[in-house]
Structure 1
């Protein structure tokens, strides 16, 4: 497993993490108290932790903070980097603090390594939200600050309006079929030592199910060996820049183990350009 500095956090995170957004059906069912395949999901996260993954992402919206809490309870807390996210409806200072404390209760933790604004809310003054996040960081409830689904302009605005702490991470939709972040965001984040957490890193399963991609994957396999298409997709992200951390969904142990098996693959410049020109 490759380990890299995660932004300005001072933590060495596994290049591939684990996401816990399952799907909207899962979320809707949890409102009725139904947690489908809960044990399998917990075992998937535990499998990752047991085999070197130390980066886990969740969110209050996902209703998986309790799953993460159960999965990590027998592991050393300071050896795991856990991020969670606050809903855009909870970005006023008072709501933000209440949401964070709920998340900490769900996680059964005293602090979260990274607290992320899940989506921007233009009805709330972002400066006030960021000020409150810095206060909660000062209080020790948050270790690092992040944002998700922000435009390039809004990312820069966030960097400029954090006074005491750095923006540690940005979470965006990034995969071989969706590479908008490469236009300008990726270089900016690398220059400013900000981690990029890539969600939907295998294009929400499209790299596994798309027969039209197989011929292109076969060309890459001729260079690196018989590797699953999903693992090639992940290796593109970990190869293009050392500040990119894909967070594929950890839904069952088998998929997690596949991600771990091929986690050390590094694509050369020729294969990176091939993907950029052909996918």
Structure 2
């Protein structure tokens, strides 16, 4: 739209919102996105942020603008102190403005020139209106925003313009995207926690299976050793297998013994003497 004749020094020609609606309907027919309020309010926020960045480039102290990464960098504490008097400026900290170059190209006359004649702490107003020579969409369509622009009737003795600040409009589309993003983040976090829990359960189950298999193998080995010991009847072998095999500590003690000691150990367990 900016490169097709709709841009004028004061903003955009009357009818630009209708033009945007038609173009959106062509590209995204089922989106339900409207120029007003979705795009109009988003543009206001972006213009206000751009004004803050231009001010930082001229007057920033202790923090500044990284043109390579398109973000505000420097001392966070100093920046947050500066941002307290500028509504919405705190969100610019270390957040890339991917549309910076395009916004400067579009709103250079409205913002860039005006920011150079302002001092730190000044408040600005940006009016994107439909001039009477072009007519208006609704007769009084005005976009007000905290920003800066040079007035044609400003005299050298006039160093400050009247102070005025408009409260930013809420962007319902952005709010919806934020809510969706939060929901997805919560879902992913819950899924991550569930995966961790399942992994712990799997480890515990695997350990239990390994222990069971080891004990089962030791009992088989115990039975084979008992059968090979001299002087034991089948009844004694079975009873010893039951008595020793039910206690892993007894099996650990039994296996390394010499055969003659194993026989003594078995007889003691069968007789119940120890």
TM-score in terms of structure 1 length: 0.19
Higher Rg of the two aligned structures: 2
Question: Of Structure 1 and Structure 2, which has the larger fraction of its residues in helix?
Answer: 2
Higher relative contact order (CA 8 A, sep 6+): 1
Bigger proportion of residues as strand: 1
